[in-house]
A and B are shown apart, each in its own frame.
Chain A
Amino acid sequence: MHDLHDFEDVKIPIGPQHPALKEPESFLISLRGEKITASSVRLGYNHRGIEKACEERTYTQGLYLIERICGICSHSHSTCFVQAVEEIAGIEVTARAKYLRTLIGELERIHSHLLWLGVAGHEIGFDTLLMYTWRDREVVMDLLAALTGNRVNYGINTVGGVRRDISHKQKEEVLKAIDILEERTKYYIDLAKGETTLIKRLQGVGVLSHEDAEKLDAVGPTARASGIERDVRKDDPYAAYGELDFKVISVNSCDVYGRTLVRLGELMESFSLVRQIIHKIPDGPILIKSSRKIPVGEAVSRYEAPRGEDLHYVRANGTEKPDRVKVRAPTLANIQSVSKMLEDRYLADMPIVIAAIDPCFSCTDRLIAVRDAKNKEKNTVVWETIRLKGIEWYKNKGIDFTSLNEKLTKLF
């Protein structure tokens, strides 16, 4: 019989396109048996030259481009950028606009964390969790669509404030939706704390010690699960966070299980924040008119995105276009700790370890323009039609969820 050490390490490339990865990035891992002995990451497959493009566009155009950096935390990037521009221009945004930005930011966090929980479930073969959380996520997606007109890329920010106000009826809808989501999240917390398979699969996986997390400058839930109690909302308050009451969730388990608990805890904090915003939001204008030209100056803006600290640096040269826009998204700060998490771990843990830092990937559009090939007629298909078509398609296949849906509606 051969001793394990008789064999050379096997090198396996994973990516840039790979079923276990949700976005293009390339890993090369060296394996001895089932264990990873070394790993190497190559990034840059998604480089689209947005920073350069911003220099050739006005601040308003740049804002919409910046919003498209990420398909999930789009509001994080646009708020971070617009805050920097407003700081340079000396614009003090109204209190109502600040509250509205915070409201959309927290709803975005809820949708992002629910999405992550589903992906995490999927990566460990717990697809029921994916189905449940993504169904619940629709509640907050519909809410975002009702408030801003879009499921992602909300386009609510503009230099000097926000572009849409919230009505009394919408406030009630938000509170109603938050009640449903809180109920569901409590169920997931019970599940995460009691379901043995889930705990056993996630505990001790993807370990990032407190010291390593500090040394590698990890951010967001990745850092907070390694006992680093750091949150831009608390440490360097922006928008309305200085006036709101919330806790920074952190645990000391340093593993994927900890990252799950942190995100679940943050969901509960987000529900409380949304309720506070709805009750406290002051009356007043939502937008201050500002000049298209931004005076000479520089500013660094920070924002606690669902994945961690987002940092934008903007330098203005007195014209309508910025001189330099620098974006440091949270994933770039966290990807450097992935190699550490993989060290001396099993190959089978790799998908969940990578997913646990919650790297960004894109969401779908809500509106599709369809041109009929025969009569060239243009139709606009709305989300509801797609949903109904989906239900119909399954019914034709003999799968009917009608009675199950009725049961669930009764539950809430």
Chain B
Amino acid sequence: MSEEKIKQELEDNFSYLKDAVTIKRKGRIFAQVPLDKFNAVFIYAVKQMRFLALSAITGLDRGDGFEVIYHLNREGRVLLNLSVRLNKENPEVNSVTAYCPSADIYERELMDLFGIKVNGLAAGHRYPLTDDWPKGEYPLRKDWKGTSGKTPGLKGVAGVSFPDKEAQNA
């Protein structure tokens, strides 16, 4: 199926995606999805359109809010980049680990580096920051300019334990 057909299929099934899907070049499709409709589009792309592999999840700080891009691919050939915008005050997304188990590590990255809440993510180790990293410090936010003074002598990672015995990091 060509890129044009994928765009057509998305637009036919989701009227709100009209003019929101762009083909940047061969094998690169970008789609801007409204937050409340995201789950439906994501599940459709994975289950019906067979975009079974998740290459990565990228978080972005747009200044007035956040953006999360899910890079899905089909058989390694076509990349479908589904992007969703979140507000600045209360950024939240739902976990996609039920459909793509590999999303786990990328979602933890969103939590640690952007402070985006991921609903439904199982308990586990945080990634990639240290266990004693101060609360409320999110390095990839644009207004973050370092923790100078706030983190005297981080001890690093306290240790490793099995996820079921560890409280979820938020």
Nearest to A40 among chain B residues (CB) is: B162
Given contacts A216-B102, A336-B104, contact A27 B160 (CB under 8 A): yes
Interchain nearest-CB distance for A146 vs B (Å): 34
Do A45 and B140 touch (CB < 8 A)? no
A293 within 8 A of B: no
Contact-size category for B: 35 or more
A302 within 8 A of B: yes
> For chain B residues 87-123, which have a beta carbon within 8 Å of chain A?
100-102, 104-106, 113
Out of B61, B71, B77, name the residue touching A236 (CB < 8 Å).
B77
Interface string of B151-169 (1 = CB under 8 A from A): 0000011011111000000
Contact-size category for A: 35 or more
Do A300 and B28 touch (CB < 8 A)? yes
Interface centre among A26, A41, A236 (most CB of B within 10 A): A236
Out of B71, B126, B157, B163, name the residue touching A313 (CB < 8 Å).
B71
A328 within 8 A of B: yes
Interface string of A196-232 (1 = CB under 8 A from B): 0000000000000000001111000000000000111
A275 within 8 A of B: no
Chain B residues with CB under 8 A of A351: none
Do B105 and A40 touch (CB < 8 A)? no
A52 within 8 A of B: yes
Interface centre among A13, A30, A324 (most CB of B within 10 A): A324
Chain B residues with CB under 8 A of A15: 160
B60 within 8 A of A: yes
Out of B27, B59, B128, B161, name the residue touching A40 (CB < 8 Å).
B161
Give the distance in Å from the alpha carbon of A328 to the alpha carbon of B76 in the complex: 15
* B interface residues, Cβ below 8 angstroms from A: 24-25, 27-28, 30, 52-56, 58-61, 69, 71, 75-77, 79, 81, 100-102, 104-106, 113, 125-130, 139-140, 156-157, 159-163
* A interface residues, Cβ below 8 angstroms from B: 13, 15-16, 26-28, 30, 38, 40-45, 47, 49, 51-52, 87, 214-217, 230-232, 235-236, 298-300, 302, 309, 311, 313, 315, 323-324, 326, 328, 332-333, 335-336
Interchain nearest-CB distance for B128 vs A (Å): 3
Do B60 and A28 touch (CB < 8 A)? no
Out of A43, A313, A323, A328, name the residue touching B128 (CB < 8 Å).
A43
Do B160 and A52 touch (CB < 8 A)? no
Interface centre among A42, A45, A299 (most CB of B within 10 A): A42
Give the distance in Å from the alpha carbon of A30 to the alpha carbon of B162 in the complex: 9
Give the distance in Å from the alpha carbon of A309 to the alpha carbon of B79 in the complex: 13
Do A235 and B128 touch (CB < 8 A)? no
Given contacts A40-B125, A215-B101, A336-B105, contact A235 B56 (CB under 8 A): no
Give the distance in Å from the alpha carbon of A43 to the alpha carbon of B112 in the complex: 13
Do B160 and A313 touch (CB < 8 A)? no
- 6 closest A-B pairs by beta carbon, nearest first, are A44-B128, A328-B56, A47-B128, A217-B102, A230-B76, A235-B76
Chain B residues with CB under 8 A of A300: 28, 71, 79, 81
Chain A residues with CB under 8 A of B101: 215-216, 336
Selected A-B contacts with CB under 8 Å, 25 pairs: A26-B157, A28-B160, A40-B160, A42-B160, A43-B128, A44-B126, A44-B128, A44-B157, A52-B139, A215-B101, A215-B102, A216-B101, A217-B53, A217-B54, A217-B55, A217-B100, A235-B76, A236-B27, A236-B76, A300-B28, A311-B71, A324-B58, A326-B58, A328-B56, A336-B102
Interchain nearest-CB distance for A54 vs B (Å): 11
Interface centre among B60, B102, B106, B113 (most CB of A within 10 A): B102
